[in-house]
Amino acid sequence: MYLHIQKSLPPYSSVSSAVSPYYRTKLRGLYTTAKADAEAECNILRKALDKIAEIKSLLEERRIAAKIAGLYNDSEPPRKTMRRGVLMTLLQQSAMTLPLWIGKPPPLCGAIPASGDYVARPGDKVAARVKAVDGDEQWILAEVVSYSHATNKYEVDDIDEEGKERHTLSRRRVIPLPQWKANPETDPEALFQKEQLVLALYPQTTCFYRALIHAPPQRPQDDYSVLFEDTSYADGYSPPLNVAQRYVVACKEPKKK
């Protein structure tokens, strides 16, 4: 990509004074050509990623429609719940394959939140605040089924109990997950910073808990290192645990004293 090509070439000004006008012109031409080629490659890759996203969106819409039809078809036997080990593997794969954004980060890239009028689409994964069996509230990983513009409410399914637990929630109880990774090497400002309060998916679970950023990612493939709030430890926080960019969102609740 252009950003990486820029870093691999020496600054034009540092070498232009040491060559003749002929080679200076030729060097300028090579730089211009390299820049144009990199930008063209970037545009091709963006179009390919857009097409992949479009295909994935269509597949999600069909899957959601089939699931809804199955739920309301009494003649079909109930679906089996996905085994937990399989679910954890799928969640890990989803985090690993989250595309990396190149260029100025848009909303839903890294730590950048969605715009105020954004509505998550069917099939999108979100953090959803729901009431547990004991009456307490918790943040869970959920999948959007539908959104009603008339009531401004989502219908979401608990990702851990597909087809069994459906919740109707207001928009303030739903946080869309990042759709792209932010590049720490070029856009560190698009990531949560050290000691920032977040909601993070606890490893090997489908629940989000409050945590402090211990260290942001240093490379595009790196995870966050976070400290989960845990009263069983003397300082109130767990040892550092790794959580992918995909499963870290802003926490709007005040920090506990």
Q: What is the pLDDT of residues 18-64, one digit of tens each?
A: 678 888 888 889 999 999 998 898 888 878 877 887 787 777 777 76
Q: What is the mean pLDDT of residues 240-253?
A: 93
110-119 long-range Cβ contacts below 8 angstroms, 24+ apart: 110/178, 110/180, 110/181, 110/182, 110/187, 110/190, 110/191, 110/192, 110/245, 111/178, 111/182, 111/190, 111/191, 111/192, 111/248, 111/250, 112/182, 112/190, 113/249, 113/250, 114/176, 118/176, 119/147, 119/149
Task: Please provide the average confidence, as pLDDT, over all residues in the chain.
Answer: 85
Flag whether the pTM goes above 0.75: no
Q: Are 104 and 46 in contact (CB under 8 A)?
A: no
What is the Cα–Cα distance from 224 to 244, expressed in whole angstroms? 6
